[in-house]
Amino acid sequence: MTGADRRSLAAVVASLLAGVPLVPLTEDRSYLLLALMLMLASAVIGVGLRRLRLAESLVRIVQLVPVVSVPLLIPDAWHPVLMYEQTYSFVQVAFAPMPYEAGFAVFCALIVWVVYLLTESLSIGLETPAWTFPVLVLPYVVPSLAIYTETSPFLFFFTAAAYALVLATATATSLARAETDESTSTGWRRGVAATATLATILALSVALLVSLPIPERSGTGSGPSGSGAVQLGDPSLDLIRNVNSNSAQVLLTYHTSDGGGEYLRLAALPAFDERGFHLTATDLVPLQFQESPPEEATRSISTTITVGNLASEYLPMPWFPVSANVPTTSWRYDPKTLAVVAVGVGRTSATRDLSYSTTSRWLTDADELLPGLASAGDPQDGGTTLAVPPALSPQIRSLAEEITRGRPTAGTKAQALLEYLHSDRFSYSTAVTPGTTLSTLDDFLLGSRIGYCEQFAGSMAVLARLVGIPSRVVVGFLPGKRVDGQWEVSARNMHAWTELYFEGIGWVPVDATPSGAVDNPNPSTSPGSTRSATPSKEPTIRPSSVTPTVVPVPQAGGGGPVDPAPWLAAAATLLILGGFGPRATRAVLRRFRLAGNPDPRRAAERAWTELEAVVRDRGRDWPEGTSRQVADALGPDLDPAGREALNGLAHTVERARYDREPEPASDLASQVDQVTEAIERRWGRPARTWWPRSLRWS
């Protein structure tokens, strides 16, 4: 092995180590396997061409050839433009750490591969290994720029180890060259210089480590953070990211004096124009609640809240706050929106690791309250919460009049609007364009009627304004999940609802999102209604009579996340590089997918992915649609036993995707085997091709 060969191999290992700091971005690790395959292929090409004594510039060009193999390994890459568009949309709404997405996995792998090419060029082509540090540190910097949070200092050890490996290999090569150099003193000087450089760089690495983590950003940018942190400017910008989050990390916990759950407000969005609902300028006052609660809110609730990894400039507060004990002087109160806002330096992370208590008043459920409210009130805001843009569709105006026709009072009109949005005319799905712009509301109310909580809340607010009721959209958190006597709230519990203003009572919160459509136990029509009128040890949550139609979110990559264990990744690498790996890889993937998983969602998705591969390997196309629609399309071709097993598997997948807590299924592997046998009886065994169809294209 020549010195260049050793440097090339060191560049492969170093680049793989340097790629590890990308892990905060994604739950998937398959990008490391793909990157390793590309790097080894490029390294083999480089070794072979150097044996032919070709110019290094030509070697660099030919080393780019392995990138053409990516579509063979990631089927989505056969359509790069479409994959780019899908990945761009995915990144816009995903929440770090993101689930597996084929395009993002390719993106991460290409970053690591490019790091290898640059590292090898500097180490071998230009003979300047010391300059590889800016290249190797690139994957460590990317998460710091992308996820608005501190980058773990531990991950920097991988970068430092990669750099040390490159320099150590260069040092060893220089020393070996010195033994055969005609000028021994020159060779030794090179070796000593390389060793001194290594020692200096390691010392600098320690110094850099002391200065990390990278300082937190200030300002009001949007975007999720790290493994569950949330940074808020306009909170609606983060709503779709958090609703789509796959992270189960608990952001805050709380317990109340009566054991009931609380909707926790962050901010109210009173202004509405072509851009949708958004914040307005306001005057903040010291943290002394000046507005009196409604007379109907006679019951007092004490709440103690402990915030974890939630970076926000808004303090989560229950409705209606009358006092708060917050251990800092940086908080101010907005009497117009009832929001508690941090001011000063570091305001965007003021809530992190904060514990505080508050006293609030509880209002009767909106279903009981609205029929008795005769008139809409005036919130003294200059008409802000009644304004609608001139460009609002005339059809939406007509719709508001039609829904409320025959309802004599403001309260009964609001009740009619709630009943309309809770009806089975509408479907809940996060796989829609985020926001409350005129176009999204037009589509939601007049077109597809598919949306998530922001569209439901925004539509309720717009329709209410059209019938003369002041309204605003509120962003905050659902009550969460009750665990061991306290309530736990995760990023997925972020939610939007509506507040309406009535004479004699003021702002009344209502939730237009259908019950059961979000990740929370039965939210009802009013954020104040998650407890019974009589205190009890266990909170009573009023179930809704409406069962919404839930539209599935498309699964990226055709079948859920792929997160193989390290031993599987190593085995797959050896098999593929050995030249006979595709068929063996297919068998290993089947064993992995059917091996079971403690998480019933992952287990069901992996079994469904394996069934899709079985169908593709028989030369058939996988039907579009939900699991039940796929079963309806494939079932007629199977015998009764196979059809029954297919329907059972489809039902299990449906429950895993949409049930809040799906039950584990122990017979997934046998169901897949039964369907496979039925398919073989109908379509025969798959053709014995070297590369199975399920690994070649989607």
The tens digit of pLDDT for each residue in 654-678 reads 888 877 777 777 788 889 999 999 8
CB atoms inside a 10 Å sphere around CB 446: 12
The rounded Cα 678 to chain-centroid distance in angstroms is: 38
Q: What is the pLDDT of residue 209?
A: 41
The alpha carbons of the chain give a radius of gyration, in whole angstroms, of 30
- The string of pLDDT tens digits covering residues 306-331 is 998 777 788 899 988 888 888 876 78
Give the amino acid at 144: S
**CA gap 602, 656 in Å, rounded:** 8
* DSSP assignments along 235-276, one per residue: THHHHHHHHT-----EEEEEEETTS----EEEEEE-EEETTE
Q: What is the pLDDT of residue 696?
A: 59
- What does each C-alpha distance from 655 to 426, 532, 669 come to in angstroms? 21, 30, 17
Structure token pair of residue 222: 């949007």
Indicate left, alpha or beta for 544 from its phi (over 0: left) and psi (-120 to 50: alpha).
beta
**CA gap 346, 352 in Å, rounded:** 11
Contacts of 674 (CB under 8 A, 6+ apart): 641, 642, 645
Sign of CA dihedral 594, 599, 604, 609: negative
**Judging by beta carbons within 10 Å of its beta carbon (0-12, 13-18, 19+), is residue 203 exposed, middle or buried?**
exposed
| Residue 254: pLDDT over 90 | yes
SS (H, E, C) 36-91: HHHHHHHHHHHHHHHHCCCCHHHHHHHCCHHHHHHHHHCHHHHCHHHHHHHHHHHH
Q: What is the pLDDT of residue 319?
A: 83
Q: What is the pLDDT of residue 253?
A: 94
Q: What is the 8-class DSSP label of residue 321?
A: E
The average pLDDT across 360-368 equals 80
| Residue 691: pLDDT over 60 | yes
String of b and e for 349-380 (b: at least 16 CB within 10 Å)? bbbbebebebbbbbbbbbbebbeebeebbebe
Residue with tokens 């809940």: 428
| Residue 288: pLDDT over 60 | yes
CA nearest neighbour of 421 among 385, 457, 397, 474:
457
**Judging by beta carbons within 10 Å of its beta carbon (0-12, 13-18, 19+), is residue 109 exposed, middle or buried?**
buried
- What does each C-alpha distance from 8 to 17, 42, 121, 440 come to in angstroms? 14, 9, 9, 53
The average pLDDT across 223-242 equals 48
Lowest mean pLDDT among 64-68, 369-373, 686-690: 686-690
Q: Are 469 and 511 in contact (CB under 8 A)?
A: no
- The string of pLDDT tens digits covering residues 467-523 is 999 999 999 999 989 998 899 998 888 889 999 999 988 889 999 988 766 654 444
Q: How many residues does the chain have?
A: 698
The average pLDDT across 568-585 equals 50
Per-residue confidence band for 348, with pLDDT thresholds at 50, 70 and 90: low
Q: Name the β-bridge partners of 286.
A: 332
Q: What is the pLDDT of residue 300?
A: 87
**CA gap 605, 662 in Å, rounded:** 12
Sign of CA dihedral 662, 667, 673, 676: negative
Per-residue confidence band for 582, with pLDDT thresholds at 50, 70 and 90: low
- The string of pLDDT tens digits covering residues 177-196 is 655 544 444 544 554 454 44
| Residue 446: pLDDT over 80 | yes
Q: What are phi and psi of 175, to 5 degrees?
A: -65, -40
Q: Are 111 and 19 in contact (CB under 8 A)?
A: yes
The average pLDDT across 421-434 equals 80
**Domain residue ranges in the chain:** 3-211, 223-550, 564-695
The average pLDDT across 641-661 equals 85
Q: What is the pLDDT of residue 688?
A: 57
Q: What is the pLDDT of residue 544?
A: 34
Q: Name the β-bridge partners of 264.
A: 318, 477
Of residues 351 and 411, more confidently modeled: 411
Per-residue confidence band for 302, with pLDDT thresholds at 50, 70 and 90: very high
CA nearest neighbour of 358 among 398, 395, 325, 310:
325
CB atoms inside a 10 Å sphere around CB 534: 7
The rounded Cα 54 to chain-centroid distance in angstroms is: 47
Q: What is the pLDDT of residue 232?
A: 41
Q: Are 161 and 17 in contact (CB under 8 A)?
A: yes
CA nearest neighbour of 385 among 526, 506, 511, 524:
506
Structure token pair of residue 220: 């009001």
Structure token pair of residue 663: 């039950």
Give the amino acid at 310: L
Average pLDDT, the chain: 76
**CA gap 656, 650 in Å, rounded:** 10
| Residue 236: pLDDT over 70 | no
Query: For residue 358, what is the enclosing H or E element?
Result: strand 355-362
* SS3 call for 549: strand
- The string of pLDDT tens digits covering residues 128-146 is 888 888 888 888 887 766 6
Q: What are phi and psi of 223, to 5 degrees?
A: 130, 145
Q: What are phi and psi of 546, to 5 degrees?
A: -100, 130
| Residue 638: pLDDT over 70 | yes
